[in-house]
Chain A
Amino acid sequence: MEITLANLRRAFREDGYITDEEVLLTVYLALKLQKPLLIEGEPGVGKTELAKVLARIFQTTLIRLQCYEGLDENKALYEWNYQKQLLKIQLSKDAGCPAELEEDIFAPDYLLARPLLQAIQAEEKVVLLIDEVDKADEEFEAFLFEVLSDFQVSVPELGTLKARQIPIVLLTSNNERELSDGLKRRCLYLYLTYPAVEREVEIIRARIPDISEKLAWQLARAVAQIREQQSIRKKPSIAETLDWARALLTLGKDSLDETTVNQTLNLLLKRKADQDVFTEQVGARRLVMASQDEKR
């Protein structure tokens, strides 16, 4: 697919990823400038999904590196296949030809490529998703610099490996800690927020075609009302809105009512404390009223 804004817009829509023009344009710029895109935002706004969508529309592989504290280059970049090296040593010893052994066991055949190296070595242009980079240690961020700015990695025993195709790189962060300036400088930046009510209605209807327009609007308004509560810690994600919509459809509901809200609330709010806050500050009755308020 040729990268144009119109093509991208159409592809996103065809894939059912409904988004704002601002998001679309930022993704387009990242693709055109071949820069990594750093996406921040609350959990559940569709950061990871964006990478999956890109992989689908470019019909390419999605290589995912899930970050966590303690992630190091052995897990992210490469590791020598220790067991295979050991077998080789044993076999060579038995065969009595250990001379070229050292060169042999530090060859690419003995390298276990981890996500970053896989993305660099891929023959096709892949999508590399570095997910929740804020959970990795600060030292690991510095380690990413070489990959993100030069699309190459250094393996001491083999030298520098340059990317065969510059991958589409997306990094996501839940903003648990401030990322370094160095990392941010190397990326374009996108802050994703929860969609506006109209946009969420579009998303619901695109993903769940059987739902009535009326119910889709009610759900979107209700979810927006819940997300407005500052005291609710884990706000409902887009995926949870969709789950809720599917559940209501399964229950044969065509509109929201108090009993249904109370019965299905745990699909949206999965922490007891948040459910208590909801009951105390909003309540099913007000939520139903808000969901019918066409001014929202």
Chain B
Amino acid sequence: MTNRLEVNLVRFVHLLRLMGLRIGISEVIDALQALQEVDLAEREAVRTALQAALVKRPAEQAVFAQAFARFFASPEARAALEQEYAEKVAQQQEMLAQAAEDLQFHGAPLALSDEEKFIYASIPPSAQQRMREYIQRTAEGKRVESNFRPVLESMLRGSLAFWRKSLRTELDQLLIPLTDDEELNALLSSMEEQPEAAADALLTEDMRNIAEKDLPQARALLQKLARQLVTKIERRYRQGQRRQQLDVRKTIRHNMRYGGSLFKLRYRSHRQQKPQLLLLCDVSGSMARYASFVLQFIYSMHSVVSSIEGFVFAEDLERVTDYFQYGGDFAETMVEIMNRSQEWGRGTELATALQSLRTKYPHLLTGQTYLLIVSDTKTMKVTQAVQELAEIKRMVKDVVWLNTLPAAEWQDHSSVKAFQELVRMYPCNTLLDLEQVMRQKIIT
């Protein structure tokens, strides 16, 4: 009986881990001990005991509730889930077989992964048709060579990767969970995404990939993060008297009244200075989404910085500070900027933008200014941009670069290396990155 309980508990924990919960061994032991204190015949008591020991984040509670309901379901309900899963697997096998048949070059299957074939099977029939025609045209040309195959495979992979992004939500629901435990697979495939967990996931999603429908939620989340950070920083400003280093002069002076014995110690209080931020956001093509998030975040923090100057740039520079002066709805302000801006969505020329900043707005580049650049470093005339940046760096307190390229891709871009030698650069492609970099690196 005990053994059965332990086995079930371990399998349940395994399921929760697969669903993204971080559960350590000590928590499993706690759960087991907790189960020994409750009546196992009482479902609610068992659920509460497991929840208290295993779930440590509010967003995980809905995930846990769903997993518990599925895992500890009646045998009939479990059988129905397994049946549903078996049908899903059969359907997917059929789709894969059809895809393998379609994606052939000169009678031999193309080297594509199951996932890629599955994407092919899920895209609209018209797109499938176009791909098949493309393969056919490549195969039937006049001077077809055998080395066309890898080129063709690579082309198809690129196209399927594009579809993977567009169909992300649908594919996530369809893809078969990859564990070697069929029972757990059946349970996993039946889970629905929980809104709270989805909100959590938005934090670590690349900002560019946040779907249109999730934008209001992402903005609300960002607002919440900013609010939390502002509260934290404001509290710190108020705590100017916090104990720091011993102030020897003040201590001696204060203790003269005790005949020179150091009876009461005096500490140096650290005066906090609010930083001045100058924000330079790349709004060329792929960068616009990042810029809108960063602008919203920074302007939400206006109470803990002494001033914010906002600029967007693509081929040249454009000042957007005035749009944010009077509060108002952020989404509306952004739409207004995007409509009026000459720069939104154009190509990138950081060198020109930096030169304009230096020549037209020299009064903003002071010894108190932090220059924040939000860009993926992909710009024309990198060498000139580096020179301009070096020039500006001498005029301001510090330059911090929030790079929207994922850190893993930095090594593939020479421009990253060029700018990195000059300024502090941090990855910033998720909402969480943005919050962390502001909290830990800028307003410290």
* B263 touching A83, Cβ below 8 Å: yes
A270 at the interface (CB under 8 A from B): no
Of B21-29, B282-290, B395-403, the one touching chain A: B21-29
State which size class the interface on A falls in. 20 to 34
Task: Tell me whether B52 and A26 are in contact (CB under 8 A).
Answer: yes
The reply on A176 being an interface residue by CB < 8 A is yes
Residues in B neighbouring A40, C-beta threshold 8 A: 58
- Smallest CB–CB gap between B200 and chain A, Å? 10
**Which of A159-167, A177-185, A203-211, A261-269 sits within the interface?**
A177-185
Is the beta-carbon distance between B239 and A25 smaller than 8 angstroms? no
CA distance A191 to B34 in the complex (A): 17
Is the pair B262, A86 in contact by a Cβ cutoff of 8 Å?
Answer: yes
Q: Is B45 an interface residue (CB 8 A)?
A: yes
What separation, in Å, do the CA atoms of A133 and B26 have in the docked complex?
22
Q: Which of A22, A25, A30, A135 has the most B CB atoms < 10 Å from its CB? A: A25
Interfacial residues, chain B to chain A (CB-CB below 8 A): 22, 24, 26-27, 30, 33-34, 37-38, 44-45, 48-49, 51-53, 55-58, 61, 228, 231-232, 235-236, 239, 242-243, 261-265
Q: Of A22, A29, A176, A191, which one neighbours B232 at CB under 8 angstroms?
A: A176
User: Using a CB–CB distance below 8 Å, which chain A residues touch chain B?
Assistant: 21-22, 25-26, 28-30, 32-33, 35, 38, 40, 68-70, 72, 82-83, 86, 90, 135, 175-178, 181, 184-191
Q: In the complex, A185 Cα to B26 Cα: how many Å?
A: 7
**CB-CB < 8 A to A26: which residues of B?**
48, 51-52
- How far is the CB of A23 from the nearest CB of chain B, in Å? 9
B197 CB to nearest A CB, Å = 14
A29 touching B265 by the CB < 8 A rule? Answer: no
Give 10 pairs: A residue, B residue, CB < 8 Å, sorted on A.
A26-B52, A33-B33, A68-B235, A70-B239, A70-B242, A177-B232, A185-B56, A187-B56, A189-B53, A191-B61
Given contacts A25-B38, A70-B243, A176-B232, 19 further A-B contacts (CB under 8 A): A21-B44, A21-B48, A25-B49, A26-B52, A29-B34, A29-B38, A33-B34, A33-B37, A40-B58, A68-B239, A69-B236, A135-B235, A176-B231, A185-B24, A185-B27, A188-B34, A189-B52, A189-B55, A190-B52
The CA of A32 and the CA of B49, in the complex, are separated in Å by: 12
Q: Which of B45, B231, B236, B265 has the most CB of A within 10 A?
A: B45
From B227, which residue of chain A is reached at the shortest CB distance?
A233
Q: What separation, in Å, do the CA atoms of A210 and B263 have in the docked complex?
A: 56
Shortest beta-carbon distance from A237 to chain B in Å: 18
Q: Is the CB of A29 within 8 A of B24?
A: no
Are B37 and A29 closer than 8 Å at their CB atoms? yes
Given contacts A25-B38, A70-B242, contact A184 B56 (CB under 8 A): yes
Q: How far is the CA of A26 from the CA of B37 in the complex (A)?
A: 11
A195–B401 CA distance with the chains assembled, in angstroms: 46
Q: What is the minimal beta-carbon distance from B115 to any residue of chain A, in angstroms?
A: 31
Report A-chain residues with C-beta under 8 Å of the C-beta of B53. Answer: 29, 188-189
The 9 A-B residue pairs with the shortest CB-CB distance, nearest first, are A184-B56, A26-B52, A188-B52, A70-B242, A25-B48, A189-B56, A22-B48, A29-B34, A32-B37
In the complex, what residue of chain A is closest to B29 when comparing beta carbons? A33
> B residues within 8 A CB of A35?
30
Q: Which residues of A contact B45 (CB under 8 A)?
A: 25
User: Could you tell me the distance between the alpha carbons of A82 and B251 in the complex, rounded to whole angstroms?
Assistant: 14
| Distance in Å: Cβ of A187 to nearest Cβ of chain B | 8
B30 touches A188 (CB 8 A): yes
B-chain residues with CB within 8 Å of residue A188 when the two chains form the complex: 30, 34, 52-53
Q: Which residue of A lies closest to B220 (CB)?
A: A230
**Known A-B contacts A184-B56, A188-B53; A33 and B30 likewise in contact (beta carbons under 8 Å):** yes
- Name the residue on B nearest A90 (C-beta): B261
> Chain B residues near A187 (CB, 8 Å)?
56
CA distance A207 to B232 in the complex (A): 35
Bound together, the chains give a CA A86 to CA B58 distance in angstroms of: 50
Shortest CB-to-CB span from B44 to chain A, Å, is: 7
Give complex CA distance A68, B262 in Å: 28
Specify which chain B residues have a CB less than 8 angstroms from the CB of A25 in the assembled complex. Answer: 38, 45, 48-49, 52
A38 to chain B: closest residue by CB: B56
Q: Contact: A29 with B52, CB < 8 Å?
A: yes
Question: CA of A206 to CA of B37 in the docked complex: distance in angstroms?
Answer: 30
The CA of A35 and the CA of B435, in the complex, are separated in Å by 33
Bound: A176/B51 CA distance, A:
22
- B54 — nearest CB in chain A belongs to which residue? A189
Bound-state Cα–Cα, A28 to B38, Å: 10
Give, as a whole number of angstroms, the nearest-CB distance from A68 to chain B. 8
Nearest B residue to A40, CB-CB? B58
With A and B bound together, what is the CA distance between A40 and B51 in angstroms?
14
A68 to B30, CA, bound (A): 29
B225 to chain A, nearest CB (A): 10
A29 contact set on B, CB distance < 8 A = 34, 37-38, 48-49, 52-53
In angstroms, Cα B347 to Cα A21, docked, is 61
Which A residue sits closest to B225, measured CB to CB? A177
**Smallest CB separation, B443 vs chain A (Å):** 14
Q: Which of A28, A69, A70, A175 has a CB less than 8 Å from the CB of B58? A: A175
Per the bound structure, the CA–CA distance linking A7 and B54 in Å amounts to 26
Complex Cα spacing A33 to B48, Å: 15
Nearest A-chain residue to B228, judged by Cβ = A176
Partner of A69, one of B34, B235, B262: B235
Check if A86 sits within 8 Å of B37, measured CB to CB.
no
Task: Give, as a whole number of angstroms, the nearest-CB distance from A251 to chain B.
Answer: 35
User: Contacts of B51 on A, CB cut-off 8 Å?
Assistant: 26, 189
